[in-house]
Structure 1
Amino acid sequence: MNDENFWTDVLAPYLPALNFPFILHHIATRPQKQALTEDPKKSKKNTQKQLVSTQLSTHFLTLAYAGLHVLALELLVYTNSPSADTNEMEKESLTTIFVSKADSSGYFNSNREDAKLNLGDIVTQILKMFIKTLSRPSTPTRLCLFARAGSQYIFPESGRNKQKHVLSDRDLIKWWIRVTSPLLTLFSELRSARLSVPGAEQAEVKSFLTYDSETKNLLWKEGHIFCPDGDRDIELALRHIPSFPDDPKSRFLDVLVAEGRDGITTVNQFFAELQMRQEFVLGFVAAIIGIEGFVDKKADERTNFACPLVENRVYSKIHDAIVTSDYSTEKLARNATAKFIETLPKSSQHIIRGTQELSKAGSEGGAERKQPVHQINVIGGRLVRKRSKPAQTTTTFEQQQATNAHNGSSESQQTTKSDQTDRGSDYTEASKKMKV
């Protein structure tokens, strides 16, 4: 799988074969030192002098069709490579992929009534490639996300689009379990696959979990992955529970530090108190989802993505191009998509022609598609499923954009057949609207 065709090979089988290609953009920030956990034994005065072995890189991916954004994902990748001088708390090598945000716009339009776009499958494939690509030999890999339903997380005002169907809290959790369950087969040694729903009864948590179709055994267990089960009454929460942006766990960790309880609160005490936090007692149902294990890697498998690396200030500018836009109508969403693309390096673009066959019953025309399209909102992980919009004749603008994209890369447009299988720095104030 060469760099030019990487995302084409991965996603084409899950995208409908339409007249025009899909456009995927992928950028990442240059890795910078960023601690994932803290050591409560170190005073604040000495914290800045601590050696940090963890590197953070933020990845942003968007998928568009006919000049309109369809899906966006922000993933934070933490890579820890300890040395002899590393802090005691960071001794173990670890790769952590955190699904920071995910969102759909609700603007997938096609003049084929049988053209379905299953965003759940697409998210599964993207996460699968992040795990396979970034995993390291003899090093555990974690995938983490926080799921709570909301109307928008990346595309501002897209919740006003009547074609975008926002899932309920419980349906969102079930959606994320369906999306992440296929990832379990990637692990040659699966340490843990856990679901925690703070404040929920055990029976309700179990209702979200899925079973192996052959063995009928549960694929998931109730709980979290952030500390070995037998040590949770002894180990301190601040040492084991990672601090992610816009995550209720992280906000509570900050409270512990402010109250001076960071040096006495154990992992079990932390989660017992977490369920009483405001995010979990006002009628919301939210979930913490985590997977951890070892992934076997072939010697010739890629170890990184061929995407442009940008400085944090450049990433912030690109990010702001979306979070300060308006996706409430198709016209505004089209303008926002074009504005965003203008800020990107050209090397971030991947032109993908879908190879998923359409139903023979489908026909060209303006009939409304009956099948809903699954969509997401991230983790935080909140997810959104979008309903299909009545099909419209493709506009001249759409045709021109798609044609230009088609002419831009002939190699990216190969329509190879492949077997289909089932199938996450600081932000500006403007971005706070959509954080999970």
Structure 2
Amino acid sequence: MNYENSWSDELAPHLPRLDEPFILHHIAATPQKQALMEDAQRSKNGKQNQLVPAQLSTHFLTLTHAGVHVLALELLVFSSSPSAQLSKMEHDPLTTIFVSKADSSGYFNSGQEDANLSLGAIVTQILRVFIKTLSRPNIPTRLCLFARAQSQYIFPESGRNKRKHVLSDRDLIKWWIRVTTPLLAVFSELKSARLSIPGAEQSEINSYLPPDPDAKTVLWQEGHIFCTDGDRDKDLALRHVPSFPDDPKSRFLDVVVAEGRGGIMTVNQFFAELQMRQEFLSGFVAAIIGVEGLVEKTANEPTHFTCPVVDIRAYSRIHDAIVTSDYSTEKMARNATAKFIEALPKSSEHIIRGTQAISKVRRKHDAHLTKPSHQINIIGGGLVRKRTKSTHTKTAFEQQQDVNKMDRDSDDREASKKVKL
């Protein structure tokens, strides 16, 4: 797979065939040294002794059509490598892809009544390219994300756009499971595919998991992917649970360290207490989704991206061009898109012409997001039992989402194009 053509090869079959092409922009920040796990004995004010030094690469991608942003993703890639220091530690080399943020604007409008766009399919393909490109021989690759519903993640004020399909917390979790399930087929050896919903009952978690197409093939399991090969009742959380930006479990890790419990809290104790955090008791449903395995690569497949790499300051300026803009109306979204593109290197642009016939575009469901295309070799497994809590009742947030949905349904009947996230 040649990188210069990979975006077109992967995305074109999932984009409608229109007169005007789609534009994908992809940039990355200069890699920085950062560890996912740290010394469990560090103190609140003491110097952090980082374990398993890793290289962090931050990637930002946007999809544009007709001069307006449609989709944006920010992905963080942590890569640890074998070293002499590694023999003294408990961790093996690992490539971790963390979905920091993903958002749609709701402004896709092809002008053709039957032309629909499945953003779920696009996100699946983008993640597929990242996994296939950045995986290393005989080194596990891990995909992680934290799902919690918000009206906007990247495009400010886009939640005010009534054409944007804002998902409830439960629908968002189901959407991410549908998006990531096809990615299981990318792994030649699948070690783990887990869904964790702190505080949720087993029956509720099971309702989010797709049925196994083959009783002999285990796809998803309840639990998390951290310390799958260790003893979770003995191994320390700080040695196995990674820290990601704007992540509730990372904030709890900081609390554990501040309280001086970093050297005694095990993985199981950590997740048992995590579900009691206020963030998971406020009526919202949030999930930790993870997939890990090995990926076979041929000699001619790329091992890195050739996208423009800019320094941290330049990356921040480009990123700020979006997060400080206003996407509340289509006109303002177009202005914000133009401002963002002006700040980008020209080499970040990839022109993609959709090849999917409009008559074959799925309207109601992301039917492609069902099951892997080939049998998966499972090399690990296991379950983690969750503590139960009282039956969940509909919150004010969810009631408001119902009202918003009624408004969107009314507007959709007047609009010439639906956007499906």
TM-score, scaled relative to structure 1: 0.81
Q: CA deviation at 1:29?
A: 1.0
Map Cα deviations across residues 190-226 of structure 1 (whole Å, 9 max, x no partner).
1111000001110000000012334485520000011
User: 1:304 corresponds to which letter in structure 2?
Assistant: H
Q: CA deviation at 1:157?
A: 0.2
Change (3 A) 1:370 1:7: closer
Q: CA deviation at 1:42?
A: 4.5
RMSD: 2.4
1:336 maps to 2:336 = yes
1:65 maps to 2:65 = yes
Structure 1 match to 2:387: none
Structure 2 match to 1:95: 95
- Bigger shift: residues 2-11 or 317-326: 2-11
User: For 2:416, which of 354, 378, 391 is the aligned residue?
Assistant: 391
Q: CA deviation at 1:186?
A: 1.1
Structure 1 match to 2:242: 242
User: 1:262 corresponds to which letter in structure 2?
Assistant: G
2:121 touches 2:366 (CA, 8 Å); kept in 1? no
1:205 touches 1:222 (CA, 8 Å); kept in 2? yes
User: 1:31 corresponds to which letter in structure 2?
Assistant: P
User: 1:199-348 residue pairs with structure 2 within 5 A?
Assistant: 199-215=199-215, 218-228=218-228, 231-348=231-348
Q: CA deviation at 1:278?
A: 1.1
User: 1:97-176 residue pairs with structure 2 within 5 A?
Assistant: 97-176=97-176
Structure 2 Cα separation of the partners of residues 5 and 353 of structure 1: 12
Structure 2 match to 1:3: 3
Map Cα deviations across residues 74-114 of structure 1 (whole Å, 9 max, x no partner).
00000001310358447411000000000000000011111
Unmatched tracts of structure 1, length 5 or more = 363-368, 375-384, 393-436
1:349 maps to 2:349 = yes
User: 1:129 corresponds to which letter in structure 2?
Assistant: V
User: 2:102 corresponds to which letter in structure 1?
Assistant: A
Structure 2 match to 1:359: 359
Structure 2 Cα separation of the partners of residues 293 and 52 of structure 1: 19
User: 2:68 corresponds to which letter in structure 1?
Assistant: L
Q: What secondary structure is seen at the aligned counterpart in 2 of 1:166?
A: coil
Q: CA deviation at 1:306?
A: 1.6
- Bigger shift: residues 7-16 or 89-98: 89-98
Change (3 A) 1:196 1:49: closer
Change (3 A) 1:293 1:371: closer
Structure 2 Cα separation of the partners of residues 70 and 145 of structure 1: 21
Structure 2 match to 1:185: 185
Structure 1 Cα separation of the partners of residues 252 and 87 of structure 2: 23
Map Cα deviations across residues 212-253 of structure 1 (whole Å, 9 max, x no partner).
334485520000011126500001111100000000000000
2:37 touches 2:50 (CA, 8 Å); kept in 1? no
- Bigger shift: residues 140-149 or 43-52: 43-52
Structure 2 Cα separation of the partners of residues 50 and 272 of structure 1: 25
2:212 touches 2:219 (CA, 8 Å); kept in 1? yes
Change (3 A) 1:216 1:51: closer
Unmatched tracts of structure 2, length 5 or more = 368-404
Structure 2 Cα separation of the partners of residues 299 and 370 of structure 1: 39
User: 1:243 corresponds to which letter in structure 2?
Assistant: S
Q: What secondary structure is seen at the aligned counterpart in 2 of 1:19?
A: coil
Report how many aligned residue pairs link the two structures.
Answer: 375
1:15 maps to 2:40 = no
TM-score, scaled relative to structure 2: 0.84
